[in-house]
Amino acid sequence: MPYEAPTHTVERSLRATTGAKIVAGVDEVGRGAWAGPVTVCAAVTGLRRPPEGLTDSKLITPKRRLELAEVLEGWVTAHALGHASHEEIDDLGMTAALRLAAVRALEGLPVRPEAVILDGKHNYLGTPWQVRTVIKGDQSCVAVAAASVIAKVRRDKMMAELGIEHADFGFAANAGYPSPVHKAALAERGPTPYHRLTWAYLDALPQWRHLKKARNWAEGNVPEIEGQLGFDF
């Protein structure tokens, strides 16, 4: 499908209005998965022309994502990844886990960015970071699109490795998201050591419901995640 290439428009605006010289694009992957971590990438690209075909990772074929990620990791000025584990998601809730992963990514950069372009409409980073949220930033902003591709490829690889001992769940293909193969294996075998156990999908599995953990998250920290509430969509 045709799509508009991402630009540096938002970054230029941030530079002009805030005086920031180092701007990082931030995007996450794994938010709606039932298993595995949530992964955040922070990427600094400057204002150079991006590699051909760069866009939101969800719009690119798996083969092209792999190729593009390899190019991007050498092209970006800097990038770093942060993860929040399935245990941290269960313990903290998704909003706090996202912030934890994002801070780990940003603090992993060799130079602290002075401003951040965050994909989506919710600023889950907060202070002291200077944040501009952009809906569909992974399609419109170069740095966010680069972060999107790198995060997706890295997390997919991680989930494939985690799934080696749990082949019936198909993690190499579904990355922990609720595919038919994943749901069938979950119903038959129960959750793996990598599943998020506070999530509502366990309510639909009477034989495994006893494994569900109580939610102890702070008020306002409940994850608003499409696709995690049950088996039917």
- Confirm or deny that 119 is annotated as ligand binding: yes
- Confirm or deny that 28 is annotated as ligand binding: yes
CA distances from 197 to 161, 202, 212, 213, 216 (A): 20, 8, 5, 6, 12
Give yes or no for a contact between 35 and 86, defined as CB atoms under 8 angstroms apart.
yes
Q: How far apart are CA 14 and CA 144, in angstroms?
A: 14
Classify burial at 82, counting beta carbons within 10 Å of its beta carbon; exposed 0-12, middle 13-18, buried 19 or more. buried
Q: How far apart are CA 137 and CA 54, in angstroms?
A: 12
- Confirm or deny that 203 is annotated as ligand binding: no
Tokens of 155: 């997390």
Binding site membership for a divalent metal cation: which residues?
Answer: 27-28, 119
Binding site membership: which residues?
Answer: 27-28, 119
